[in-house]
């Protein structure tokens, strides 16, 4: 195979991340109805926080606190409790992206696998265990633990050190986010694959090594070089 290491993003690359359903389940457990309109108001706060996080201007703790601050006041609880309740709900509704398991199983023994995610530590181990994937990845690199988020090259440098400093030409980064997964990989000097399931417009300033609509396409590309 052309690559010795395949690094994956987590959310919307390997795992479905339906935040609305997660919020619904969290509030259902609190005995509160949660609507799509409620979620849209929440996203007006949440989405810009993730942009700031990727830009390195706020921390993971800032996201946890700020996005749930209004709800904490409304329901007389803490942002920490709400964040944990949300991540618990997300773990409970977790499912895999189509063809993800088949791709991972096909790569076993042909390349080493890792994850680089901007998600939160609290969710990762639970989700991997629930999906039976705990032993499949050599390393799970989480921005909250490293202190920098994709696309910052620092998180890729950290991953490479954990991996034993392999030849960059033998490493592929796979992700659905053009501005964190792909741009981060490109800036670090490794090959990248953009999982563009939604067929979003290409960006002239960011050029992935490969673009696929589904993981079965990536599987065919990788196994053709095996």
Our answer to whether residue 9 is catalytic in this structure is yes
Q: What is the CA radius of gyration of the chain?
A: 18
User: Cα separation of 184 and 66, whole Å?
Assistant: 26
Are 9 and 176 spatial neighbours (Cβ–Cβ below 8 Å)? yes
In the three-class reduction of DSSP (H, G, I as helix; E, B as strand; rest coil), residue 109 is classed as coil
Q: Cα(160)–Cα(194) distance, rounded to whole angstroms?
A: 20
Query: Angle, to 10 degrees, between the axis of helix 60-67 and the axis of helix 79-92?
Result: 100
Query: Closest Cα partner for 83 from 65, 62, 58?
Result: 65
Task: Give the DSSP letter string of 18-35.
Answer: -HHHHHHHHHHHTT----
d(CA 81, CA 64): 10
Q: Which of 9, 11, 152, 181 is catalytic?
A: 9
Catalytic residues: 9
């Amino acid at each position: 195979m052309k690559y010795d290491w395949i690094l994956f993003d987590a959310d919307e690359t390997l795992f479905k991340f339906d935040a609305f359903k997660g919020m619904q389940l969290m509030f259902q457990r609190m005995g509160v109805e949660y609507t799509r309109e409620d979620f849209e108001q929440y996203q007006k706060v949440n989405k810009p926080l993730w942009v700031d996080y990727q830009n390195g201007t706020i921390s993971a703790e800032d996201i946890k606190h700020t996005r749930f601050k209004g709800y904490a006041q409304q329901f007389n609880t803490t942002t920490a409790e709400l964040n944990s309740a949300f991540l618990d709900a997300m773990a409970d509704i977790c499912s895999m992206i189509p063809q993800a398991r088949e791709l991972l199983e096909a790569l076993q023994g042909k390349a080493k696998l890792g994850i680089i995610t901007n998600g939160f530590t609290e969710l990762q181990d639970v989700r991997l265990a629930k999906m039976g994937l705990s032993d499949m990845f050599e390393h799970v690199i989480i921005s909250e633990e490293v202190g920098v988020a994709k696309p910052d090259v620092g998180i890729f440098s950290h991953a490479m050190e954990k991996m034993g400093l392999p030849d960059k030409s033998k490493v592929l980064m796979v992700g659905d986010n053009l501005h964190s997964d792909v741009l981060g990989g490109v800036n670090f000097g490794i090959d990248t694959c953009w999982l563009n399931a939604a067929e979003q417009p290409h960006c002239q300033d960011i050029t992935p090594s490969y673009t696929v609509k589904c993981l079965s396409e990536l599987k065919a590309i990788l196994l053709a070089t095996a």
